[in-house]
Chain A
Amino acid sequence: MSKRIGVEVSIAAAEAVGLCDVDVIAAYPITPQTHIVEHLSEMVAEGHLDAEFIPVESEHSAMSCCIGSSAAGARTFTSTSSQGYALMSEICFIASSMRLPIVMAVANRALSAPISIWNDHADLMYSRDSGWIQTIGENGQEVVDLLIHAFKVAEDHRVMLPVTVNLDGFTLSHVIEPIMLPDKAEVAAYLPRYKAPLRLDPKNPVSFGPVGMPDVYTEARKAQDEALKAAKPVIIEAWKEFGDKFGRYYKPVETYKAEDAETIIITMGSISETAATAIDHLREQGKKVGLVRIRLWRPFPGTELVEAIKGAKNIAVLDRVCSFNGGEISGPVCLEVKSLLFDRGMNPKVMNFIAGLGGRDVTVQNFEEMVEKASNGAAPTPYEIINVRE
């Protein structure tokens, strides 16, 4: 039976990974991810989880260990944030190209400099082209569920790609929430033992990671591109099965009061709860506004997003990162939304706000202002950094 407990989200995330019966965890401490791996190592130390915990000397080695472990056929997990994510980036790209179903929790944090341990989406955005499946949770329950779902999707032989589950550092990772933890047998029924299609095994020798000359590199890239495309239906199918088993249903894009909205704000992550409160306030004033939250970031849920925003005249997109592009184009999430709309021949007004950098609060009032500006078509393009002192 599932049980509901009041628990810090990081601890719940670790418990979820434990429920998935991982074999190997290789991790390195970095705030705000640390509680996740601390708790996992405690579970291993207490004998609650039968796994090898490799206390590596860097995140670069964490991901390298994960690749070795996953290629050997073990269910493999790690977790990181920000600088640690950046340090392992070289190896993250290799993990997806080698098609290894590693699962990683990323407690999202700003990138240095100045060094900041607080939340934004710089690490999520810098890693978006790394070939991983990327989901982002809004609350603790969702993080737990997305982690279990992540292994299911990653290890599906139709997919075979690594997955990150993103959770906002501190604002989500460190809060205490009531969370339903499924029991081990339920999870085992949903997530059978991983069977690697190919593994490092002297009984069946395989060479992983050969040299790719120009006569094969494009084909290798094409195969990987197709794999990420093909992952979307499997992700949705696995959410359906999850819902049927555990009673909580998920989809790539979440909408809130968006059906008849003339103005929609698009967000990602836990900040969406604040945005929803702002939407409530504005609706009380009779304004036709709504919220759309992206849960599946890679593969990008274009069709679902178009479906969610197609009725709106004004769209505000919140970016949680400064992407230093010279100022004549928008931030990363907004650029993708615009590209999607352009390709589909849709032409609503799209405005881009950059907020919540390095732990800066984004209040209900901030959201109300952003949505109001968007409703009036008054936001400057291509973007505006809000909440900044002159």
Chain B
Amino acid sequence: MGIASEALKNFKGFNLKNMPEVEPLSPGHRACQGCGEVLALRLAMKALGENVVMCSATGCMEIITSPFPQTAWKVPWIHVAFENAAAVASGVESAYKAMNRKGIINQPDVVFVGYGGDGATMDIGIQALSGALERGHNFVYMCFDNEAYMNTGIQRSSGTPFGAGTTTSPPGKKSIGQSTWKKNLPAIAVAHNIPYVATATPAYPVDLMNKVKKAAMVPGPAYLHIYSPCPTGWRCGIDESVQVARLAVQSKVFPLYEVIDGQYVLSRKVAKPKPITEYFKPQRRFRHLTEADVAKIQERIDAEYEDILKKCGGDGKGKEEKE
């Protein structure tokens, strides 16, 4: 049995009926109305509980929780810079390890978490993340992927999907918008041979919380890629974050799966996939796309989904979609 399977042997999940009441992130935070990223963060924190140390990258989830003299954090939290949350978490984890071993402290159960946006994780911080995963620190890294640099005003990142309009990938006479395909960071995390990788989204809160909990329980590094709608940057309605996230799963744009000890497991089988046009419709960042563009993207999405299914053993043994 692999490290993760062993650690998760007796895993007891959350369910809607017995949600933990704890809110390590307090209300009063400054996120935009209807922010899907802070919703994802809130749910993750509920799953993590209070015996954690949070290491934040610069970005929306840092700015909106910490303008001095207020903090939305009820748990220990540190923000250092944009690209180094994984390295900071490595340092915290190592400090605890050394001090516990030397008898200076007796706090063996603290969970160490690094987190950042897609820019912080997939672009500028990928080196620090790769280093921390490779070194095998016992920590969780969460990427809150809202598919652009939102904090600085919706610039493209390597997480921005093909065709999406951002302020640095604007559609125009000579531009389709984002001209590159989204980087597959979960696959890059998997390539580090870490015990646990998973994708999640706040549209499926129980699934998200269970994955966060598992990531915390697994010894060694765990990586969570959390799809986090941003109504401000995606230019959808402020009441649509959850709906858009759900459509992303239902249209196969963002498949939910786990990779436990290197084995892909589908979390949610998309029985009757919706066309991506349904997913695109509420989001004005895709409004300029032509039918031909959409067809091209659909083709790619289908292929990527097939690839995930194949990795999961073909038939997608995941549960039926329903939560």
Contact = CB atoms under 8 A, between A and B. Distances in A.
B38 interface: no
A51 interface: yes
Given A23-B95, A61-B87, A65-B91, A205 B81 contact: no
Given A54-B135, A201-B76, A23 B110 contact: no
A225 interface: no
B208 interface: no
A58 B127 contact: yes
A72 B95 CA distance: 6
B98 interface: yes
Contacts of A206: 76-77
B20 interface: no
A16 B227 CA distance: 48
Contact of B53 (A72, A76, A210, A213): A72
A192 B36 CA distance: 48
A24 interface: yes
Contact of A68 (B62, B71, B78): B78
Contact of A211 (B68, B90, B96): B68
B63 A211 contact: yes
A342 B77 CA distance: 46
Interface in B83-99: 83-84, 87-99
A90 B73 CA distance: 25
A24 B98 contact: yes
A69 B91 contact: yes
Interface in B115-131: 127-128, 130-131
B46 to A, nearest CB: 16
Interface in B20-49: none
Contacts of B94: 24, 26, 52, 54, 65, 68-69, 74
A386 to B, nearest CB: 40
Contacts of A98: 80
Given A23-B98, A57-B131, A64-B87, A210 B76 contact: no
A205 B95 contact: no
B50 interface: yes
Interface in A38-79: 50-52, 54-58, 60-61, 64-74, 76
A263 to B, nearest CB: 47
B50 to A, nearest CB: 6
Given A23-B98, A202-B51, A207-B66, A65 B88 contact: yes
Contact of B92 (A60, A71, A91, A204): A71
Contact of A61 (B50, B73, B128): B128
Contacts of B107: 201-203
A202 B76 contact: yes
Nearest to B132: A61
Closest 6 CB pairs of A and B: A68-B91, A57-B131, A65-B91, A64-B87, A74-B95, A72-B95
